[in-house]
Amino acid sequence: MAKDELGETLHLVGTRPLRPDGLDKVTGRARYGADVSMPGMLWGAVVRSPHAHARIVKIDASKAEALPGVKAVVTRADFPEGLTGENWNLQENTMAGERALYDGHAVAAVAATSALRAQEAARLIEVEYEVLPHVIDVDDAIRPDAPVIREGAADATVPEGSPPNVARYIEFGHGDTEAGFAAADLVRERSYKTEATHQGYIEPHACLGQLGADGKGEMWVCTQGQWYIRQMCSSVLGLEAAQLRVTPSEIGGGFGGKTTIFMEPLSLALSRKAGGRPVKIVMTRSEVLRATGPTASASMDVKIGMTKDGMITAAHAEFRMQGGAFPGAPVDMALYCAFAPYKLPAAQHIGYDVLANRPKCAAYRAPGSPMGAFAVESLIDEMCRELGLDALEVRLKNAVKEGDRASYGPTFGSIGLVETLEAAKSHPNLAAPLGPNQGRGIASGFWFNHSGETSVSLAISEDGTVQVSVGTPDIGGSRASIALMTAETVGIPYEDVRVNVVETGALGVNEPTHGSRATFASGKAAVVAARQAIAEMCRRAAAEWGIDPEAVEWANGAAQPAGPNAGKFPPMGIEEIAAKMGSTGGPISGHHESVPEGAGASFGCHVVDVEVDPETGRTTVLRYLVVQDAGRAIHPSYVEGQFQGGAAQGIGWALNEAYIYGEDGRLQNAVFLDYRVPVASDLPMIDTQIVEVPNPGHPFGVRGVGETGITPPLPAIANAIEAAAGVRMRSLPMSPPKVLAAIRAAREG
Amino acid sequence: MVTVNLWSSLSRFTGGETAVEVEADTVAGVLDGLKAAYPGLAPILDTGVSVVIDGEMATGRHASVAGATEVFLMQRMKGG
Amino acid sequence: MSKIHVTTTVNGDEVEFLADPRESLLDCLRDHLGLTGSKEGCGTGDCGACSVTLDGTLVCSCLVLGVEAEGRQVATIEGMAEGNELHPLQRKFLEHAALQCGFCTPGILVAAKALLEKTPDPTETEVRYWLAGNLCRCTGYDKIIRAVLDAAAEMRQEAA
Ligand code: FES
Ligand code: FES
């Protein structure tokens, strides 16, 4: 049986009970974003720009408005003016103002009595555009003569004289890189590119919004964060936040892409114009791909110096990333994570956040980290090869440990990279034999993990069962993990706890389920809340017994006299205390609001075996291993699930997925047939090994596990392809035509 | 006095320094002190930064920096 | 466009609805019959979230018109359990933690059931290819495949 850091025996944490929301989800009863309707409901549809960049000359909605059943049309004119900063960005992205900034940018929306009628009406809205020059690729967008996406978009970080589409600039580092490179036996400098990919959640965005002329409104929406929806919709529409109640539906995946707003304010604006009738908007898949998410694309130069025995002496990175027509490409995070697994005597990092005529990027699982890892982990592998060194040993040799300075500046606290690498090294997959055209690649990955604003409340029911209200939507089993931690703390069965994900009216502000924080932050807050309720139950028992509350302790779900001096009383169980609480002082509850400290970072190491078909360039993943530090796995099945899901997304990013634009700046592959995410027959079983180096910042040692896993697959597969086919792929995706071309070039070369 | 480590491109606003001394007991004091000494930093600090104290991300403006051996300013972090 | 009256059988119950001829079977199930267990992930036949069977054949209900259901037998996720008795696949999905967000789950369960009816003893590869039209973005498929294989084994044992 596992023990926590205090040496106490754990009964529930670490077990694998059925998830509490499971029955609804296997019977089709669970209600997702599009599954709820309301009396008097209208349907909304959105008119989107077919141009990558165009001035909106005129919008004529008269034909649409004349169609029977059409109840409201909104354009940017229906939104308040004068917003600044990110609020302006959000508003502009929700609905274009003077110019459409990307293919798919919303320019108008309509509500009607049926979905088909709303779509018909949307087609009747006539928009006159003056097409402007556009720019898609990040290296084109950063040129001084590129079409200007937005005057004055640069913030104070950007030095004078920078190219016009540079919106943010960052530079950091430490040590003397020149001396470091001079001390190296081998210095290599390479350039890498990654394409934009989409989070690809299977549930399209959906919401049902209602807003009256009195400014009071409600929304049902699939989101990772109901308070973010509330705050963003309120600022974009000029509403009072507390007047908007936002209820999260079950969520069909998010991966960061559902931490922001897209069409949600449109449903509210349409509702207000339609006399307060609720308006449902459900995106099509092509709307999802054209106008939500995606992640940024990157162009990266990396230089590393290494001694002949594999010590890294210096590193330099310059990353350019575009995150669409708005600032926010995660170039800073990419740089912070790029060298995080390595102890570096000297490192310099330079980053540019560049605007381009593409959708506003949203967070995607460890935002930025996969790109940086692709560049750095690829180059380290290449250099190990050149020096004849074992790639895993080199990683161990340079691995950061507690007390080391991180490549991004501060000193690491407790981390588990070495343990992770050692676990990978002794895994049987490393000894599996490889055949012709097969190769093995390894790579590390890192994510900080995030804490964030958290509010949890817990109440004891009359029968001694416990309800916990959390504000973090359950995307992958967090109800189960929070119930386990609560039950463990209170000393009651797992089944006696019900965890509810509640609406904005029921708790204080919560940040979304992002940054791998739900089990860490909501879990930690639930434990604190449970301890408060326990203290109150001890007080009630003390009063019944007529002894000092300090003389009562809590164990096994019951108040007990603490030691022989407290008096002789039989334990008073939670059922008994709960049954009497109405007459012993009223309801018993606990709550906790904070930004919990101590979100521990998580390192991972992946090992992949591939086979590359020399005739077609197709890469088949034969074997896949994820090793990652979870701190402590509360519900190991869902930890494994995060590892496997992250790896699968990373494999898709590495091999297939990419936003493909035409010369006209239009997205060419806005359906799942063409934007091909991994399917069951593309993948093998994904082996996992959970490493547990407890996080001292969490009562049970939890580290967030959701994000790190998407990072290593990109370079691990590139490294495996080189091992299998002798070609080094430096741009993603490593699709069959590209790999084949590289094989042919190498043959001819 | 605490020494605050800035990312190096901020040295444009601090006369070339990437580590600056500020008289402060809390994160708020650090940020206000920086703004007072180097007004050019104000818009950047106001859009939001993360402050890392002895390797731990500070969770609020009132977090103490008294006795800290290491204070780093970083871009604001979240996640997917 | 005037609507068409459709009479069909869904999960053994005779039902009627008025369909716009442009509406898919998926739209009709969800919006006219309140059977929202079948999901729309794409509307183009690429994700399988809308999987149902039509006269026993597995189809993407987003690619079938509502009016085509006239006189046919439709089976959806809502009819998979017998009352409170879960189908072995449903139970195994829970036991194996084969769902994270659960959005793909109804379609995958319906598709897997159709597989096991035809092929009670599938190999891992057969399961992977059969389910290749059902996208899951959360799980990497590992636990889904294990759950299907385990359910198949249990069902074979029960049948024996
Ligand atoms: S919704 Fe029918 S296949 Fe995707
Ligand atoms: S569990 Fe989320 S898509 Fe499959």
Mean pLDDT of A524-534: 98
A631 and A742, same domain (yes or no): yes
HSE-up of residue A461 (Cα within 13 Å, Cβ side): 12
Residue A2 reports pLDDT greater than 90: no
Give the pairing of strands C4-10 and A217-221.
Answer: unpaired
Distance CA A528, CA A525 (A): 5
Q: Looking at ligand 1, which residue's alpha carbon is closest to its atom 3? A: C45
- Show me where the domains of chain C are located: 4-79, 88-155
Distance CA A412, CA A406 (A): 6
CA of C17 to the centre of ligand 1 (A): 22
Q: Which domain holds residue A542?
A: 451-594
Chain B partners (3+ C-beta pairs within 8 A): A
Distance CA A239, CA A234 (A): 4
A643 and A666, same domain (yes or no): yes
Beta-bridge partners for A320: A299, A352
The verdict on domain C4-79 having CATH code 3.40.190.10 is no
Q: Determine the residue among A251, A411, A509 to mutate to test chain B binding: the one whose Cβ has the most chain B Cβ atoms within 10 Å.
A: A411
Structure confidence by residue, pLDDT tens digits, B1-58: 999 999 999 999 999 999 999 999 999 999 999 999 999 999 999 988 999 999 999 9
Q: What is the domain count for chain A?
A: 2
Cα distance between the two ends of chain C: 54
Distance CA C113, CA C152 (A): 9
Q: How confident is residue A565, by pLDDT bands cut at 50, 70 and 90?
A: confident
Sheet strand arrangement including A347-354: A166-174, A347-354, A312-322, A297-306, A186-194
Burial of residue A500 (number of CB atoms within 10 Å: 0-12, 13-18, 19+)? middle
The confidence score (pLDDT) of residue A1 equals 40
Residue C136 reports pLDDT greater than 70: yes
HSE-up of residue A478 (Cα within 13 Å, Cβ side): 31
Determine contact, residues A322/A403, Cβ cutoff 8 Å: no
Residue C152 reports pLDDT greater than 90: yes
A440 and A540, same domain (yes or no): no
A474 and A427, same domain (yes or no): no
Map residue A607 onto helix, strand or coil. Answer: strand
HSE-up of residue A70 (Cα within 13 Å, Cβ side): 23
A573 and A608, same domain (yes or no): no
A569 and A638, same domain (yes or no): no
Q: What is the DSSP letter of C28?
A: I
Name the token pair of A149. Answer: 């996406």
C41 ligand 1 Cβ < 6 A = yes
Distance CA C47, CA A300 (A): 34
Residue A639 reports pLDDT greater than 80: yes
What pTM was estimated for this model as a whole? 0.97
Work out how many CB contacts closer than 8 A connect A with C: 189
Last residue of a domain, one of A563, A594, A625: A594
Determine contact, residues A47/A125, Cβ cutoff 8 Å: yes
Residue A85 reports pLDDT greater than 50: yes
Q: Determine the residue among B10, B74, B76 to mutate to test chain A binding: the one whose Cβ has the most chain A Cβ atoms within 10 Å.
A: B74
Mean pLDDT of A461-465: 98
Distance CA A650, CA A660 (A): 18
Mean pLDDT of A141-153: 95
Question: How much of chain B is helix, strand and coil, in % rounded to 5?
Answer: 30, 30, 40
Residue A161 reports pLDDT greater than 70: yes
DSSP string, A9-34: BPSSTT--PPPTTHHHHHHT-S-BGG
Q: Which chain B residues contact residue A514 at CB under 8 A? A: 78-80
Mean pLDDT lowest for which of A4-18, A71-85, A217-231? A4-18
Determine contact, residues A298/A289, Cβ cutoff 8 Å: no
Last residue of a domain, one of A577, A594, A611: A594
Nearest ligand to residue A638 Cα: 2
Give the pairing of strands C13-19 and C4-10.
Answer: antiparallel
The confidence score (pLDDT) of residue A7 equals 55
- Mean pLDDT over all residues of chain A? 97
Domains of chain B by start residue, with CATH: 2-75 (3.10.20.30)
A382 and A434, same domain (yes or no): yes
ipTM computed for the complex: 0.98
Give residues with Cβ within 8 angstroms of A460, minimum separation 6. A466, A533, A537, A574, A577, A578, A581, A587, A588, A589
The H or E element containing residue A442 is strand A438-447
Residue A5 reports pLDDT greater than 80: no
C88-155 CATH pick, 1.10.150.120, 1.10.10.10, 3.40.50.300, 3.10.150.10 = 1.10.150.120
Which one of C25, C42, C64 would you pick to mutate in the ligand 1 pocket, going by the greatest count of ligand atoms within 8 A of its CB? C42
Is residue A515 less than 8 Å (CB to CB) from chain B?
yes
Chain C residues 61-120 within an 8 A CB cutoff of chain A: 76-78, 80-81, 86, 90, 93-97, 99-106, 109
Mean pLDDT of A459-465: 98
Q: How confident is residue C23, by pLDDT bands cut at 50, 70 and 90?
A: very high
Structure confidence by residue, pLDDT tens digits, A531-562: 999 999 999 999 999 999 999 999 999 999 99
- pLDDT above 90 covers a percentage of chain A that reads 97
Do chains B and C touch, with touching meaning 3 or more CB–CB pairs less than 8 Å apart?
A: no
A578 and A546, same domain (yes or no): yes
C133 ligand 1 Cβ < 6 A = no
Residue A357 within any structural domain of the chain: no
Nearest to A367 among B10, B57, B80 (CB): B80
Q: How many angstroms separate the CA of residue B58 from the nearest CA in chain A? A: 7
Per residue, the 3-state secondary structure of A264-291, as one string, reads HHHHHHHHHHCCCCCEEEECCHHHHHHH
The confidence score (pLDDT) of residue C1 equals 67
Length of chain A equals: 749
| Residue spans of beta strands (DSSP E) within A325-419 | 347-354
Q: Which chain A residues contact residue B40 at CB under 8 A? A: 156
Q: Which residue has the higher pLDDT, A236 or A6?
A: A236
CATH of residue A706:
3.30.365.10
Q: How confident is residue A564, by pLDDT bands cut at 50, 70 and 90?
A: confident
Is residue C126 less than 8 Å (CB to CB) from chain A?
no
Do chains C and A touch, with touching meaning 3 or more CB–CB pairs less than 8 Å apart?
A: yes
Q: State the CB neighbour count (10 A cutoff) for residue A530.
A: 27
User: Cα-flanking dihedrals φ and ψ of residue C99, to 5°?
Assistant: -135, 140
A423 and A484, same domain (yes or no): no
Tokens 């939001």 -> residue: B48
Q: State the CB neighbour count (10 A cutoff) for residue A741.
A: 13
Tokens 């449970």 -> residue: A530
Structure confidence by residue, pLDDT tens digits, A317-358: 999 999 999 999 999 999 999 999 999 999 999 999 999 999
